[in-house]
Amino acid sequence: MKKTDAVLLFIVLIILLTACGTVQTRTPDIRPTEDTNIEEKNDEKKSDLINETAREAINALKDKDMEKISKLVHPEKGVRFSPYAYVDVKNDMVFAADDVKDLLSDNTIYTWGSYDGIGDPIELTFEDYYNRFIYDVDFANAEQIGYNEILGKGNTIENSAEVYKDSMVVEYYFSGFDPQYDGMDWRSLRIVFEKSKDIWYIVGIIHDQWTI
């Protein structure tokens, strides 16, 4: 074999071996994912989970079933009662779960805060407070229900999200009752729930209305 032929044969062999050893790669078929709006879905799921407990709570309040309410109250934090939108952590009354069941029969006059506009102390028994600042309208049949959404908005600062972190606020709202007041007679009841050991408990009950 001539030297030239040998060189050519060697080159051909090198090319064939190189071709056989080449690893072919394929670019993955990457497609943009759709915006699943995870936060919104989580909120929807959260509202679904709280629905049953919230329904139990509002119906128990309607029926004045304080025994039932006491079982729904947070076993460690108790429940805070706020007569208006602003949650006053220093002055609002807080009751332990065990004390809630007997509140309607309790004749003690408590100071619940101050009346809007005049500033006089709200000095009432729990039953009177209940009739004025908890279930003053039929919230179980509210016009609207909001989940972590403030429906009733007045002049008082609404700070529930700041006070009750990692909570679920269920609001029962009426936009008004008498047309002559043009919506100024709106009412809201917000029940605040916090989770403990995978169970939702009541930690706050906030009454709200138009304020000066």
**pTM more than 0.85:** no
Q: Which residues contact residue 133 at a Cβ distance below 8 angstroms, ignoring those fewer than 6 apart?
A: 81, 83, 112, 122, 207
| pLDDT tens-place string over residues 98-151 | 999 999 999 999 999 999 989 999 999 999 999 999 999 999 999 999 999 999
Query: Given this model, what pLDDT does residue 13 score?
Result: 44
User: At residue 146, what are phi and psi to the nearest 5 degrees?
Assistant: -115, 145
Q: Which residues contact residue 184 at a Cβ distance below 8 angstroms, ignoring those fewer than 6 apart?
A: 176, 210
| pLDDT tens-place string over residues 126-136 | 999 999 999 99
For residues 159-169, one letter each, b for 16 or more C-beta atoms within 10 angstroms of the residue's C-beta and e for the rest, the string is ebeebbeebbb
Share of the chain above pLDDT 70, in %: 78
| pLDDT tens-place string over residues 165-198 | 999 999 999 999 999 999 999 999 999 999 999 9
Give the DSSP letter of residue 136: S
Identify the burial level of 20 via C-beta atoms within 10 angstroms of its C-beta, where 0-12 means exposed, 13-18 middle and 19 or more buried: exposed
